[in-house]
Amino acid sequence: MIASIEPNALITSSELGWTSITGTVRVGDGHVTKDTVILRVASLGGIVLSASSQKVETGGRVNLRLRGIVAGAEDEEPFAFGGAIYPFKVTWSVSDPSVLSTTHPLGGDVVEPSENQFAIWFDAIRGGSVTVRAVVELNERARKHFVGQRKSFTTEITVTVEDALSLIQPEMAVNSVRVAPNSQLKMVTVWSQAAFSVPSDFSTRVSITSDGFLRTNGKEGSAVVAVRKLNSPDNETVLIPVT
């Protein structure tokens, strides 16, 4: 038997392989509706790290998450770390804790156990470039979780922390908008009538509609958005840094 399923739809895998699961709902008056899905039970073939951003400003926060892949099918992500009956031990490390410091979104007093800790948060403390490493170790009671004779998988990623833009003379911070590649953001100002635009020098990185709908392309880097006040007799234009 490849897997079993409870009445509440909780699936428990038993052996490697393929099977199908059919769900049936009786809606009254003898009417029945059902659907079938294909289930694959696979061993973990490797791990990779995904970061919310590989470049962050001091004072910012970055989230890293482990993804499990299947050997020969790196485009798939079928492995559910949190569903293991015998949990994995996950060890996180950072090459320079003075640059990136571990934190928790619910507060610094919250500490998670190493079992199945497949995601982690870091606070950016100061400028620098660090390597974050994750090691996933097999539970001895679940040898089929990993392919072959593997007992652990290791992966790492580089995260760069940059000092936030500021002026020394006069001494003041210069705020900027930070967005991820291939994302979108609606920008709204306190001006009742405003028009947005992107200078041509930065059009390969970001685009924006006149009413403030910002889209980023796949390139990382800095750009500028111009905001012009329409109901002003003067040419009131503000440039907003976008990273």
Q: How far apart are CA 45 and CA 153, in angstroms?
A: 9
Residue 157 neighbours by CB distance under 10 Å: 15
Both 131 and 70 in a single domain?
A: yes
Amino acid letter, 8? N
Query: Residue 1 — very low, low, confident or very high, per pLDDT cuts 50/70/90?
Result: confident
Both 177 and 145 in a single domain?
A: no
> Where among 138, 162, 186 does a domain terminate?
162
Indicate the number of domains in the chain.
3
Both 88 and 71 in a single domain?
A: yes
More reliable by pLDDT, 241 or 113: 241
Both 134 and 56 in a single domain?
A: yes
- C-alpha distance from residue 69 to each of 1, 79, 136 (Å): 23, 7, 13
Both 54 and 27 in a single domain?
A: no
- Domain of 155, CATH number, reads 2.60.40.1080
Both 174 and 230 in a single domain?
A: yes
Both 182 and 77 in a single domain?
A: no
Query: Residue 79 — very low, low, confident or very high, per pLDDT cuts 50/70/90?
Result: low
Partners of residue 28 on adjacent β-strands: 31
Domain holding 193, by residue range, is 167-242
Both 219 and 134 in a single domain?
A: no
pLDDT for 132 beyond 90: yes
> Where among 131, 162, 193 does a domain terminate?
162
Both 52 and 153 in a single domain?
A: yes
pLDDT for 4 beyond 60: yes
What is the model's pLDDT at position 30?
75
More reliable by pLDDT, 32 or 82: 32
More reliable by pLDDT, 31 or 114: 31
Per residue in 178-226, pLDDT (tens digit) is 887 888 999 998 888 999 999 999 988 999 999 999 999 877 778 899 9
What is the model's pLDDT at position 26?
82
What is the model's pLDDT at position 75?
56
- C-alpha distance from residue 188 to each of 45, 74, 178 (Å): 46, 40, 15
Strands in the chain per DSSP E? 3-5, 11-13, 17-28, 31-41, 46-51, 55-57, 61-69, 89-94, 100-103, 119-124, 128-137, 152-162, 166-167, 172-173, 184-186, 194-197, 206-208, 213-216, 223-229, 237-242
Give Cα 187 distance to the centre of its chain.
Answer: 22
